[in-house]
């Protein structure tokens, strides 16, 4: 299991948290996604053999947010 923390721009409320955690949760290989609204980050626990960080960035961007 691996962990990565991504800086995400544009998250402002509980809806954003749900949108991002939901988008990441749909990716095969993502075990857990946890948004820190104050810090503007999302920490993801994932299986490296199943999903890449680029795929996570893409999912976040598809949900309408920017990854720094």
Q: Does 37 bind Cu ion (CB under 5 A)?
A: no
Q: Does 62 bind Cu ion (CB under 5 A)?
A: no
**Which structure tokens are listed for 15?**
């809806």
Q: Does 12 bind Cu ion (CB under 5 A)?
A: yes
Measured CA to CA, the distance from residue 15 to residue 17 in angstroms comes to 5
Of 6, 7, 8, 16, the residue at the interface with Cu ion (CB under 5 A) is 16
What is the DSSP code string of 27-40? Answer: STTEEEEEEETTTT
**Of 12-20, 29-37, 44-52, 60-68: span binding Cu ion (CB under 5 A):** 12-20
Question: Interface with Cu ion by CB under 5 A: which residues?
Answer: 12-13, 15-16
């Amino acid at each position: 299991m691996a962990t990565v923390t991504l800086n995400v721009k544009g998250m402002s409320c509980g809806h954003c948290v749900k949108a991002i955690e939901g988008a990441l949760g749909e990716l095969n290989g993502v075990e857990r996604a946890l948004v820190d609204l104050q810090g503007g980050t999302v920490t993801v626990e994932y299986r490296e053999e199943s999903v890449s960080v680029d795929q996570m960035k893409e999912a976040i961007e598809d949900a309408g947010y920017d990854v720094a």
